[in-house]
Structure 1
Amino acid sequence: MSLTHHSSNLIGGHETQESRTRHNFLECLRLIEKLHRRMLDIVKHRLDSKGLSDINSVQALLLYNIGDHEITAGDLRNRGYYLGSNVSYNLKKLVEAGYIRQERSEHDRRALRIWLSDSGKSVCNLVGELFDENLDMVKDQKLFTDQGVNELRDRLRSLESFWTDMLRFAE
């Protein structure tokens, strides 16, 4: 289904509540995708301003999500730290650039354990500071209250859980 598709549900020349809700729901889905792209643009701008041209915003976000953890490459997807299809490419690039350290697991030689190097931690901190600054600005401009942020998170988690269940129980 295309998010831009719109079927008109008019009664007596007026849009119905159901059609407005559908339109608003689809707009929310477009906005979530657009917000994610904008966030990556903001991360890229910060990387560029610090002269970090050997890493892209997706890779920086991956470092941020790994943080202080020591995990396997498979954990990145399982924990939702990486949503793209080319996680091995990005990990390889981050290892080559010295942002991630890796070694084979002692218990399962097929699994690679990964963690951030000092330069990886530096990028992680840079992204964390950027997010903190953005949250402060959002709150200063009264775009969200603490309660509003919590409510938005809860609603998005509910939707994510709903769709996860749909996929899990689909036949």
Structure 2
Amino acid sequence: MISHLLHNLVEADPAKEGEDSVDAVDAPRRKRTPSSSSAFTHFELGRTLERANRRFATFLQAEMSRLGVREIGPAHAMLLLTIGNDELSVGQLMDRGPYGGTNLSYYLKQLGECGYVERIPLPRDRRTIRVRLTQKAQDLCADLTEITEKYHQLVAGDPENMRRMEIAFETLDRLERAWATAAIFGSPDER
């Protein structure tokens, strides 16, 4: 089913927006897109990002279920992918992802109990820990990476689509930095 949906999205022609070229999942969004509206705002972009994030989490959950992984959820899987092959402190993990201290500690505790991460106390300060993936987690990350690469190839299969994805990533990265700066220092007219 996911493959069918992605195929429809890839094959969808924006000029045929009113036709059934895109599945009903995207029907509400077709009414107002950046190309059809002159009033595109950061609020609308934020809502679209939030919706995309939820759909990606649903996709990850479905793939994890197919792999037989039921004891952890998509947020846990993203944390495992963030850790990757590194051995990181909690502070480093907070810098790399959208994690709050309490949530991160809770996720790490659950992942440790399920056998996905090893918590390694530092010898000089046993209150400080570093985490690394177990073999079980490395295997899951490898499986998820393989699955997502297949979908990536489907969505960004040709050089033009790949370039569009790169531009989208660069734009989102700039927006993230701008919003982070504004959250810390205020809007430009307040400085």
Q: Secondary structure at the match of 1:111?
A: strand
**Structure 2 residues not aligned, in runs of 5+:** 1-36
2:127 alignment partner, SS class: coil
SS for the counterpart of 1:75 is helix
1:163 correspondence with 2:182: no
Contact 2:156 2:165 in 1 (8 A): no
Task: Tell me the distance in 1 between the aligned counterparts of 2:48 and 2:102.
Answer: 22
Tell me the amino acid that sits aligned with residue 159 of structure 1. Answer: L
After superposition, the C-alpha distances for 1:21-53 in whole angstroms (9 at most, x for unaligned) are 444543222111011111111110011111111
Alpha-carbon spacing, 1:127–1:84, altered in 2? closer, same or farther (3 Å): farther
Structure 1 runs (4+) greater than 6 angstroms displaced: none
How far apart in 1 are the matches of 2:148 and 2:100? 19
Of 124, 137, 143 in structure 1, the residue corresponding to residue 154 of structure 2 is 137
- The two structures, once aligned, show a CA RMSD in angstroms of 2.2
Q: Identity of aligned pairs, percent?
A: 28
Q: Which runs of 5+ in 1 are unaligned?
A: 1-19
The superposition leaves residues 68-115 of structure 1 with CA deviations (integer Å, 9 ceiling, x where unpaired) of 010012211112263685111111110000000111113433211100
Q: Distance in 1 between matches of 2:147 and 2:101?
A: 22
One-letter amino acid matched to 2:73: N
The residue number in structure 1 matching 2:78 is 61
Q: 2:119 aligned with 1:97, yes or no?
A: no
Q: Is the 1:104–1:110 contact (alpha carbons within 8 Å) kept by the matching residues of 2?
A: yes
Q: TM-score, normalised by structure 1?
A: 0.79
Structure 1 counterpart of 2:79, which letter? L
Specify the code of the residue in structure 2 equivalent to 1:128.
T
1:149 corresponds to which residue? 165
Q: Does the CA contact (< 8 Å) of 2:76 and 2:111 recur in 1?
A: yes
Task: Give the Cα separation in 2 of the matches to 1:44 and 1:88.
Answer: 21
Deviations 1:101-141 (A, max 9, x none): 1111134332111000000101111221122112111024x
Q: Is the 8 A contact 2:77 2:141 kept in 1?
A: yes
Alignment partner of 2:125: what SS?
Answer: coil
Range with bigger deviation, 126-135 or 153-162: 126-135
